Amino acid sequence: MTVRDGQGRSAGGSWSRRGVLAGLIGAPVLLLAACNDTEGVKSADSGGTGGSGSGSATPKTSAAVITVTPADGATAASFSEPVKVTVAGGTLGAVKVTDSTGKELAGQLSADGTGWTSAAGPVSGTKYTVAVTAVDKDKLEAHANAVFTTATPANTFVGYFTPEDGSVVGVGMPVSINFSKPVTDRKAVQQAITVTAEPGVEIVGHWFSSTRLDFRPQEYWAKGTKVTLKLRLKDVEGAKGVYGTQSKDVRFTIGRAQTSVADLAAKKLTVTTDGQVSAVYQISGGAPDHLTWGGKMVISEQYQQTRMNSQTVNLGSEYDIADVPHAQRLTTSGTFVHGNYWSSPSIFGSQNTSHGCVGLQDAKGAQDSGTDGYKFFQSSIIGDVVEVVNSGDKTVDPANGLNGWNVGWAEWKAGSAV
């Protein structure tokens, strides 16, 4: 007798005829069961139709309709207008506007939830991505996405500023900005510029012209003051169709407090440093036919040696000195306090013989540390004030150099556009 296992096979592993038949009879049952199970899953998925198995229901669509301005795909969108998002038939949820670096453009949702407006215009020449979600009255969500790029202005202006970032300057140094093109909207431009100080003090801007704006406090800066200039001129319309390009911070520090008084009647220059007289020098000022301007003048440039030619100040061929030592500029028009090696030492402290500058005895080559010209130059920094008194001439034009200290505070504030 042959022994068989429970699968209809002989112990030797060969299939018997009965086992083969049993396998053939059982196979269709398993396949049918598998098909029935599959149909059962489909019916379960479509239970929302009442279990009829006739197919899925059509999904409901939100009634909210979203509009983004600038439109999707815009390549020269306005940067002077805010980004706007509106929805009809619903209320807005999340609104996100980002540039290519991921920086978001801030904005405000309207009280009724149907509008969103950016707090400021987008930046020129920049690509933005917009993602919006809204819901209708049935809380069904709607989504909108847009990508646009703002235009790049064809006509631009910049502001050239002084002092330089990171510099240490004297107590008389104003913040002075000269614009590359005339500004007609002075208010918009001035509002885009802030000057702050630590410790705090009131700082006011004053327009000298359509191309120059200076800032200063009422009195000289206190020594050690830290000043920050923030230029936010990018995309500000300074004149019709002319836009700023800068977004920059400039920081400088006020050094020791030093001011000097050049008394041209006494022919002496008295230097006061941190409240104490630190030096008195013998000087020579402008001759009677070339008087020196009076008033408070700020050192704006320093040269160990420089050429001075009378033709540059409309005095013909009266002088041309190639190596004037220790020259420090007081006006744009050409007034300096400088060393003098070519005149007799006897004139210093006794005669005014110059063409309008203030001179101190010095040596050719600017290397003699024992001379007054050398000493005063070494003790001075840009931003120090030299006040000329008893010169016999009128007060210097405040716009001639960095000399706004000759404007009274009330008049200075009246020159502000904000």
Distance CA 331, CA 325 (A): 17
Q: What distance lies between CA 80 and its chain's CA centroid?
A: 17
Alpha carbons within 13 angstroms on the beta-carbon side of residue 14 total: 4
C-alpha pair distances (Å), 18 with each of 22, 27, 28, 298, 387: 6, 14, 17, 119, 127
Alpha carbons within 13 angstroms on the beta-carbon side of residue 326 total: 28
Instruction: Answer yes or no: 338 catalytic.
Output: yes
- Which residue in the list 206, 326, 338, 355 is annotated as catalytic? 338
Distance CA 105, CA 118 (A): 7
254: tokens are: 């006020």
Beta-bridge mates of residue 328: 302, 337
- Which residue in the list 206, 326, 355, 357 is annotated as catalytic? 357
Residue type at 162 in one-letter notation? T
Name the strand (E) or helix (H) holding 106.
none
Residue 32 has phi, psi (to 5 degrees) of -65, -40
Instruction: Answer yes or no: 35 catalytic.
Output: no
Name the strand (E) or helix (H) holding 21.
helix 17-45
406, 398 contact by CB (below 8 A): yes
Distance CA 150, CA 99 (A): 11
Question: What residues are annotated to the active site?
Answer: 338, 357
